[in-house]
Amino acid sequence: MRNNLNYEKISQKEDRRFQAILAMLKGQPLSDITEGYGICRSDLYKFRNRALTAMKNAMCDLPRGPRAPHNRIPEAKEEQIKQECIRYPTMSSYKINKKAGIDSPSPRTIQRIRARNFLPRLAKRAPVQSKAKRFVPEEKQRIKKFMLEKSHLGGLRLSWDIANILKITVSPATLLRWRNAMQPKTVPSVKIINWRYYERKHSHSLWHGDIMKFDHSPERGLYLRQITFLDDYSRGYIYNELTTQSTACYTVKCLISAIRKWKIIPKALLFDNGSEFRGTILKAFCNNLGIKIIYSTPNHPQTNGKLERAFRDDRRDFYAPRSEMSIEELQRELPYYTYYRNYQRGHFALKGKPSITRLCKQDRFTIPFVLDRLEECAVNEIGEKTVNRYGYIRLFSRLIYVGEQFKGNKVQCFETLKGLEIRQDHFTVGILQDYYLYRLLMNNFRSEEIPENPILYKSQQLNCPRIAVAL
């Protein structure tokens, strides 16, 4: 408020001086001006001289031309930019500015140089000569029907599946445009997380292994398990089975089936930290075959992310539409879904191509001699036992009859796929087939359920296990 008052006072004071100088220039008497405006003679003459000087300066002619000199670049520099524009006619002024170096002119100056020298900016692509593709009503009807069946897929996945199954090429943008016209909906924004990406360069270099567990019939207490091996390079399913078992011994059997199917031994296996992949028999099997086992970081499923992502698709594409089916029906349908996933479904990492395009690039095979003797590699020695004078050994706090002919001798115990094998000098004395069940009961503090006299089944001679190497 005080500043506004001061401004008004100053404005009135200046206005009074201005009126006094005008009256003085009109020829009014100096005494009347001094008395009327309250300004002394010396100040009046001083203000008059200022006014005359200002009027004289205002009447002078101003210099012509721009206030600042022309910002012309040197001719050599302009010639260099001109040659760059001639050499790269499709480049924008911003790219030429970066290419010319630090001393290059601004992009706007480069545009002016192009205009002065009549240098055109050419398009990178030639103009379209052909007409836009039009689908016949039958094709459009088949595509829209497929879109309704696969409503959960995005534009890229839809275009890949349509190209691989219906043999019709259609762009993802066209599919999304049709979907919005059929069923408009808003998609919430998703925060993108940049994970570290890795990929092997050859097929069968690394297999991801995991087991997906889910409740198929909660009222009956039935839990299903899908054991899967996935190839890192091709994203294809090497082995896929639906079962109710989940043990290290069963994992070895599934691994043997996968190796025999593709006739190749992988270089490495990537597992999580579940008990199905921590068994000693699995480690011994991989060690005998020269397979490296890699375990993921605890509580970090992204390490095995390719298979975890595949499991999410399996739940949505296979199990969700078949929630009412029985186990037998699911087991019959699973091979067809595996075929679809390997031979028809496109993958983002493969630019829309199915997994078989990379799986078929198999440049090494395992000799049949090794493939026929894979079970012999699943052997893990756990120690020796001494047979007492009555022909018994003690195991699980129970007496197991081996035979009086072995009394006083030491026998070796081996974990195999058949159970616990008792050997002496590479001869199999007998097999305890329920060994893994008894060991589970002991670990769960249920040893009272183990029978008093476990049965040791006699077996024939067993050859010495060999170490097989992938060739």
Between 425 and 80, residue with greater pLDDT: 80
Residue 116: pLDDT above 50? yes
- Give residue-wise pLDDT tens across range 376-411: 999 998 888 888 888 888 888 888 888 888 888 889
* pLDDT (mean) for 304-330: 89
Q: Kindly indicate the confidence band of residue 221, based on its pLDDT and cuts at 50, 70 and 90.
A: low
Q: In what order do the strands lie in the sheet with 427-432?
A: 380-386, 410-415, 420-424, 427-432, 457-458
Q: Kindly indicate the confidence band of residue 336, based on its pLDDT and cuts at 50, 70 and 90.
A: very high
User: What's residue 12's pLDDT?
Assistant: 83
Cα 294 from Cα 304, distance rounded (Å): 10
Cα 295 from Cα 300, distance rounded (Å): 11
User: What's residue 102's pLDDT?
Assistant: 83
Percent of the chain whose predicted confidence (pLDDT) is above 90: 32
Q: Kindly indicate the confidence band of residue 185, based on its pLDDT and cuts at 50, 70 and 90.
A: low
User: What's residue 238's pLDDT?
Assistant: 93
CA angle, residues 59, 62, 68, in degrees to nearest 5 = 155
Between 426 and 314, residue with greater pLDDT: 314
Q: Determine phi and psi for 468, rounding to 5 degrees.
A: -105, 140
Task: Please tell me the total number of residues recorded for the chain in this structure.
Answer: 471
Q: Kindly indicate the confidence band of residue 150, based on its pLDDT and cuts at 50, 70 and 90.
A: confident
Ordered DSSP codes for 122-187: --SSPPP-SPPP---HHHHHHHHHHHHHTTTS-HHHHHHHIIIII-----HHHHHHHHHHHS--PP
User: One-letter amino acid identity for 180?
Assistant: N
Q: Mean pLDDT for the chain?
A: 85
The domain locations on the chain are 2-58, 75-116, 137-182, 206-369, 379-458
- Give residue-wise pLDDT tens across range 24-80: 888 888 888 888 888 898 898 999 999 999 888 888 887 777 776 667 788 899 999
Residue 468: pLDDT above 80? no
User: What's residue 192's pLDDT?
Assistant: 66
Percent of the chain whose predicted confidence (pLDDT) is above 70: 90
Domain at 206-369, CATH homologous superfamily = Ribonuclease H-like superfamily/Ribonuclease H (3.30.420.10)
User: One-letter amino acid identity for 22?
Assistant: L
